[in-house]
Amino acid sequence: MAESWLVAGLGNPGERYAETRHNAGAMVIQTLCERFGTRPRKVRFVPVAAADTTYQGTPLSLVLAAAYMNESGPPLASFARKRDIPVERVVIVHDDIDLAFGALRIKRGGGTAGHHGLDSIVQAFRSPDFYRVRLGVGRPPGRQDTVKFVLQPFAKREQADAEVLVQDAADATLSLVADGLERTQDRFNRSGPPA
């Protein structure tokens, strides 16, 4: 049997945040769950919801932390320990304001660029060496506050491209597990929405 992977999408729990830019990572997990015909269920003793499935023979746990994004590291690290999944088989899917809206980047390791969700994960896993699927949500226009900006839904004119971004990020996540980092980067890395 192939070794298990943990794929976690970052976001804030609750309806109020469900459609916001900051929840782009969580949207990818919901999309993957829909594709596999499953849904995340609460896990005993760990504040996460997880759906277990397999892709091309590889077991996957699709996970959402039940904590706010900035505190999502400890629940995800606890779940990984419980399932005996090392950091090398962890994929974190998240929004990124340093990428133009619609951009998609896949990488492993590196800094957090002040993303508090990633900070929490690096601390909890005691390692930055997990994979990241980064969804570009763009920077706030003018002098708008960054926090307010990421806690807003995508604008109407962005919604079609946002949907494509989430679907492509779901494809990239599965490619990462099945085909590895380099092939996935070659296929999916882009600096804006697909033309």
Largest CA distance in the chain: 52
User: What does 12-81 look like in DSSP terms, one character per residue?
Assistant: --SGGGTTBGGGHHHHHHHHHHHHHT---EEETTEEEEEEEEEETTEEEEEEEESS-GGG-HHHHHHHHH
Neighbours of 184 (CB within 10 A): 22
Contact 77, 63 (CB under 8 A): no
Return the half-sphere exposure (C-beta side, CA atoms, 13 A cut-off) of residue 75.
Answer: 23
The edge-to-edge listing of strands for the beta sheet with 90-96 is: 41-43, 46-55, 58-65, 5-9, 90-96, 131-136, 104-108
Q: Which of 22, 94, 115, 116 is catalytic?
A: 22
3-state secondary structure of 90: strand
- Note if 94 is an active site residue: no
Pairing of strands 131-136, 90-96: parallel
Active site residues: 22
